[in-house]
Amino acid sequence: MASARPTIVLIPLCVPGHLPSMFEAGKRLLNSCGGGGAMSLTVLFTQMTMSANLMSDVDGLIRKESGSGLDIHFHHLPAVELPTDSPGAENFITRFIQLHAPHVKAALSGLSSPVAAVVADYFCTTLFDVTLELALPVYAYFSSSASMLALILRLPALDEEVTGDLVDMEGAIDVPGMPPVPAALLPGPLMTKGPNYEWMVYHGKRLMEAAGIIVYTVAELEPAVLAAIADGRCVPGRRAPTVYTVSPALSVKAAPGDGERPHECVAWLDAQPPASVVLLCFGSLGGSFPPPQVHEIADALERSGHRFLWVLRGPVPAGCGAPYPTDANVDELLPDGFLERTKDRGLVWPKWAPQKDIMARPAVGGFVTHCGWNSVLESLWHGVPMAPWPLYAEQHLKAFELVSVMGVAVAMEVDRERGNYVEAAELERAVRRLMGGSEEGRKAREKAAEAKALCRNAVEEGGSSYVSLQKLAREMLAYCGCEAGASASL
């Protein structure tokens, strides 16, 4: 399962918002250990039997990396019986991971090479007990923003300070390094106390036991929050583990080779003027809206007058496990005549779309996004300003940060009490501000351009992410007794 050289073991959460960034960061960490010559990478996959789509994602990743030339080994852990009494995603996921503890212990104990470190997704902190028993250093991988990390680290103390539900607090929530955060913008699992909330408190406590926390962010994008974590302002009387910022780790498809046709969305974008198209795309699990909301979006885009690329998805099939949407039937969903009236300036794409490749096209000038952290960083890597439309998890907190802290987005009113509903007039205003000549849009474009430079500088030699990975690699090499220093490019 692994080579004789020391290995870094990844334990990912095999869902779209977590697995890809963790794996890309792991590959870059491997390169930081001497171009893949000093250590290997071992990935332990949980059998996500609740969804064929999730396992298909894992199989696709394995196929993609089989010819990478890096020393990477994949191991599927035995399947476990799924929890049946776990209301809520956080409760289900954490209990699902917890059931894998004996299998993880057996896999780690059975490796033929020494383990330099275990890197576990932050939803896998129940497995820290296994690494403690085996006397292995464990690092937490945090796939979200530093602002969310600060909130999770702060949560155990906040839980003791507040007797009722956090959403009922008067005033705002204190997230160190952030402006006061309105309670209404808290992640859904944290708003009311219950099993999901309790597990998030648990994760906040266990993160403090990690040898370090690897955060998928750029240090220069969130300096105040990272300083607050480093200064011990999140956990009273204690200093958090060292934080390693490793973003971005983007893998963008190269230009098509001879005889290869570009994706239809990419080809359409290449025929549009620079920075003229607003992209509406809501991640692997998003883009499926009820018909009334679809009509509001269509009305807004038609009235805005701007070019658009709208990735519209169909409903999620019942009983599928993971909420992957289906392909959309545009004739049923869209208003009569909409496609004909907008055919010269818009494209509605009803299937999965290669967002990273789309975002890289010069024609994209604005992005209406659900604020998934991968999507945010892809947007900033290309200097594209955003209009946030948060839908679930911690996305409302990220939307607040993008507008009020980073300044890379224009504000858009999202009615959370109505299922994150957005009126046509509000979306039209946001698109006009984002793509037109408003002062708010101009400032967001300027800040996004600055963020682009920060992201790209971070991964260059001497940049913050480069240096952070080098430091982490040296630490892991030292643990397993390797004298070779971390070198090679990221």
Positions marked catalytic:
18, 121
Per-position DSSP letters for 21-33, written without gaps between them: HHHHHHHHHHHHT
Angstrom CA distances, 371 to 48, 168, 180, 271, stand at: 25, 25, 20, 27
Provide CB contacts within 8 A for 27, sequence distance 6+.
41, 68, 70, 72, 249
User: Which residue reads 């926390």 in tokens?
Assistant: 213
Output phi, psi for 64, to 5 deg. Answer: -60, -40
Angstrom CA distances, 423 to 114, 313, 415, stand at: 57, 19, 9
3-state class of 307 per DSSP? strand
Residue 207 amino acid letter: L
For residue 188, give both structure tokens.
Answer: 């859904």
Count CA atoms within 13 Å of residue 104 on its CB side: 31
Q: Measure the CA dihedral 58/64/66/67, to 10°.
A: -170
A 10 A CB-CB count for 228 gives 22
Percentages helix, strand, coil for the chain (3-state, rounded to 5) are 45, 15, 40
Nearest CA-CA partner of 153 in 196, 122, 180: 122
Contact between 315 and 325 (Cβ < 8 Å): yes
